[in-house]
Structure 1
Amino acid sequence: MLSDSQHFPALVLNADFRPLSYFPLSLWSWQDAIKAVWLDRVSVLSEYDEIVHSPSHEVRLPSVIALKDYIQTARRPAFTRFNVFLRDNFSCQYCDTRLPTHELTFDHVIPRSKGGRTTWENVVTACSPCNLLKGSYMPHELRMYPSRTPQQPSSWQLQDNGRSFPPNYLHESWRDYLYWDSELEN
């Protein structure tokens, strides 16, 4: 039996053998992966050495699975705080400092108090000091312009940006299915 402290996530690939998502990386718990295998919804491409037992079966835990039915990705990603940060590579668009998510905010380029809307084209990632400095001023009033003109990204652009941020944990069996912009380390 597996102890609660042990985790054996399965990398989930679409039917075209590409990850459903790079950031966050598409992972299922070993329990969900086993259930999907049992229901014949996925193909197992690689396995861990770990085995789980039921009264009548013994199963090696899948480490890489591929969906049997292709899931179409949304062409237009949802407007969320996280997706804005991902579009902007987790960097303040005013000072270009890359920060962890909990240290980022988003800024309305044209302030809401001056008619600015909360849209892809008017919201950028900002660090707290830059956001406080800009406040409700127009960009030209302080000469604070975003380093890139904000626009709605495609799902492909967000996935591509996500490949710049490999997760801390990568099982060896996943490496043939993942393509990162930076070299992978053990």
Structure 2
Amino acid sequence: MQHIASLELSVLVLNKFFTALHVISAKRAFVLLCKETAEIVSVDDGKFNSYDFDSWKDVSLYRAKSGLPEEDTTSWIKTVSFEIEVPKIIRLLFYDKHPQSNIKFNRRNIFARDENKCQYCGRRFPTFELSLDHIVPKAYNGKTTWTNIVCACTQCNKLKGGRTPDEANMKLMRKPVRPKHNPILSFKLRSDRYRSWKQFLDEAYWSVPLK
């Protein structure tokens, strides 16, 4: 259903000093807004505007009455009594810590680094159709590290099995590396929806062209 997909949209989280921290789901963002521990930051014509949950409902009502571009309809949540637009950015009102420089090694970041593309066939898949593959298998003492783990589709993972790429006559799309920047942010910035995030990120994040 559309509202379920909308709740899974990504929201950039800032600390109280407007420094980017991480990315969360819209569902989690609305929880923080309802608890009044965060506010919405909207970038409109180059200007920053802040809203709490109630005022954002009013803004959403105004935008809905004004008419929405067709591509924006998936960014809305419909309830029994009102419609509300999914924010792109929120700011934590009481959190002043800065983001950790260490990038976590986990499935989510690996999928983002590899852009949800199987590193053997090159096709892009939804996350639930991807798995993680050890380039050098564990049976050959392959390590679980950034440089030995790639995302692979079910078919390619099954085809490769417990072999090395050379043994399976398969080639990697690119050599896996440890990312220098948060791969989720870098991946999301390729979408026009998250263009406003650029205002709060170092230029190195958005040096890739948006599409």
Shorter-chain TM-score range: 0.5 to 0.7
CA-based RMSD of the aligned residues comes to: 3.6
Checking the alignment, whether the CA contact within 8 Å between 2:20 and 2:99 is kept in structure 1 is no
3-state SS, counterpart of residue 21 of structure 1: strand
TM-score, structure 1 normalization:
0.65
d(CA) in 2 for partners of 1:145 and 1:163?
Answer: 28
Distance in 2 of aligned mates of 1:142 and 1:87: 24
CA contact 2:39–2:91 (8 Å) conserved in 1: yes
Tell me how far 1:118 sits from its aligned partner. 1.1
Residues 27-42 of structure 1 correspond to what in structure 2 (within 5 A)?
A: 28-29=29-30, 32-36=32-36
2:149 is aligned to: 123
Cα 1:159–1:65 change in 2 (3 A) is closer
Q: Which residue number corresponds to residue 67 of structure 1? A: 92
CA distance in 1, matches of 2:140, 2:98: 39
Q: How many residues align?
A: 155
- Aligned 1:1-186 pairs, distance under 5 A: 12-17=13-18, 19-22=20-23, 24=25, 28-29=29-30, 32-36=32-36, 45-46=50-51, 47-50=55-58, 65-68=90-93, 69-165=95-191, 177-179=196-198, 181-182=210-211
Task: Decide whether aligned partners of structure 1 residues 124 and 98 sit closer, same or farther in structure 2, where only a CA change above 3 A counts.
Answer: same
Distance 1:66 1:88 in 2: 28
Task: Tell me how far 1:104 sits from its aligned partner.
Answer: 0.3
Cα–Cα, structure 1 residues 11 and 159, in superposed 2: closer, same or farther, change >3 Å? closer
1:77 and 1:118 map into 2 onto residues whose CA distance is 15
More helix by share: 2
CA contact under 8 A between 2:112 and 2:183: conserved in structure 1?
Answer: no
Report if the CA contact (8 A) 1:84-1:124 is conserved. Answer: yes
CA contact (8 A) 1:13 1:66 kept: yes
Task: Check the 8 A contact 1:85/1:125 in 2, yes or no.
Answer: yes
Q: From the superposition, tell whether residues 34 and 25 of structure 1 become closer, same or farther in structure 2 (CA, over 3 Å).
A: closer
How many Å separate the matches in 2 of 1:66 and 1:118? Answer: 35
Specify the SS of the correspondent of 2:100.
Answer: coil
Question: 1: distance between equivalents of 2:108 and 2:90?
Answer: 26
Letter in 2 for 1:28: A
CA change 1:165–1:100 in 2 (3 A) is: farther
Structure 1 gaps of 5+ residues are: 1-6, 52-60
Q: Which protein is bigger by CA-based radius of gyration?
A: 1
Q: Secondary structure at the match of 2:56?
A: strand
Q: How far off its partner does 1:95 sit? A: 0.6
The C-alpha deviation readout for 1:102-159, integer Å capped at 9, x for no partner, is: 0001110001111101111100000011111111111222332321111221343441
Using the alignment, how far apart are the partners of 2:195 and 2:122 within structure 1?
33
1:58 corresponds in structure 2 to none
TM-aligned CA deviation for residue 97 of structure 1: 0.5
Query: Cα offset for 1:24?
Result: 4.8
